[in-house]
């Protein structure tokens, strides 16, 4: 009985387990039912189940012969033309095993393939379509050359909703015996921004650091600032209290250890919630974008962000 429970808890996911991408999963399930899978292109933000969907579809299709008919390569590690000519071509040219109609090759991070490699891959997709179907996975489909896109059924994965991520986090917390309060879940949603993988990693890290997952724990282990602290800092500057806002900035950078780059990006999110006119909001966002670029190029984070606070304070009319 205990072995059955362990097997159910840690079994590989199937298409039916994937949430938040219902229309895509419905199409993939039809591919499995008809045993007719075209070349596919899965595009979308990270952590939206692209790789999981490809592997789950292959497991549902091949069952016991999965290991003999499935191969995954990460193009971010090996992305030259030699990979296409050797590894991919050698796998694609051999016949499927165990009565499978074809084999499936998953090429993750395909948008990192060089142009030459993509052109070589195009020919391989044509020549060995009967024995091997390919699933290309990328974050940006625009980086895949049009000839490859035209040979694939394109599926665009969207960021997961807060409701879907909350449902999965509560399910994991219940099964793993993790206590997580509402504020902790909300903090995870804020930081993950629709990325299920990031949300689960944050839950795991926070549960390892504390008996209960709270918002304070989540923000501390992520190295990010509580949005309320950033909002208070911006409101201080907006209210003409520049020196106080500067103290808040120094506290975030030097006492809480928040990276200036992460801080600028959080400021970009929060500045849009300030009570600013359209012109003021656009100017503040433009300055935030410029500061993010400068900090990324090596400029001093405190100096750059304090200039934004000074701009907001000067715009208060005090």
Q: How confident is the model at residue 5 (pLDDT cuts 50, 70, 90)?
A: very low
Structural domains in the chain?
14-156 (3.40.50.300), 162-222 (1.10.8.60), 227-314 (1.20.272.10)
Looking at residues 271-296, what average pLDDT do you find?
87
Please give the angle made by the CA atoms of 303, 282 and 251, to the nearest 5 degrees. Answer: 30
Q: Is the pLDDT of residue 43 over 50?
A: yes
- Which residue in this structure is represented by tokens 């935030």? 288
Residues 69/98, Cβ–Cβ less than 8 Å = yes
Q: Is 209 helix (H, G, I), strand (E, B) or coil?
A: helix
pLDDT per residue as tens digits for the range 113-151: 888 888 888 888 888 888 899 999 999 888 999 999 999
Q: Is the pLDDT of residue 79 over 70?
A: no
Residues 155/149, Cβ–Cβ less than 8 Å = no
Predicted confidence at residue 318, as pLDDT, reads 47
């Amino acid at each position: 009985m205990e072995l059955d429970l362990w097997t159910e808890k840690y079994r590989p996911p199937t298409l039916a387990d994937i949430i938040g991408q219902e229309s895509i999963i419905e199409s993939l399930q039809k591919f499995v039912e008809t045993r007719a899978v075209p070349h596919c292109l899965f595009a979308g933000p990270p952590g939206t189940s692209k790789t999981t969907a490809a592997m789950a579809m292959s497991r549902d299709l091949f069952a016991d012969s999965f290991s003999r008919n499935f191969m995954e390569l990460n193009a971010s590690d090996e992305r030259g033309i030699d990979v296409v000519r050797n590894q991919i071509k050698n796998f694609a040219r051999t016949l499927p095993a165990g009565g499978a109609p074809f084999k499936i090759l998953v090429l993750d991070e395909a948008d990192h393939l060089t142009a030459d490699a993509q052109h070589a891959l195009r020919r391989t997709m044509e020549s060995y379509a009967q024995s091997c179907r390919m699933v290309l996975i990328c974050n940006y489909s625009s980086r895949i050359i049009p000839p490859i896109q035209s040979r694939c059924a394109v599926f665009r994965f969207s960021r997961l909703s807060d409701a879907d991520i909350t449902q999965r986090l509560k399910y994991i917390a219940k099964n793993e015996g993790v206590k997580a309060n509402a504020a902790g879940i909300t903090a995870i949603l804020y930081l993950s921004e629709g990325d299920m993988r990031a949300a689960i990693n944050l839950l795991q890290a926070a549960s390892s650091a504390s008996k209960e997952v709270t918002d304070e724990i989540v923000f501390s282990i992520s190295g990010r600032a509580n949005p309320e602290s950033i909002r208070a800092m911006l409101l201080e500057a907006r209210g003409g209290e520049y020196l106080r806002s500067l103290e808040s900035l120094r506290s975030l950078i030097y006492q809480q250890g928040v990276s200036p780059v992460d801080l600028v990006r959080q400021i970009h999110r929060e500045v849009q919630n300030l009570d600013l006119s359209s012109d003021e909001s656009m100017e503040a966002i433009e300055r935030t974008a410029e500061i993010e670029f400068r900090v990324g190029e090596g400029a001093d984070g405190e100096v750059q962000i304090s200039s934004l606070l000074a701009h907001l304070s000067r715009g208060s009319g005090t």
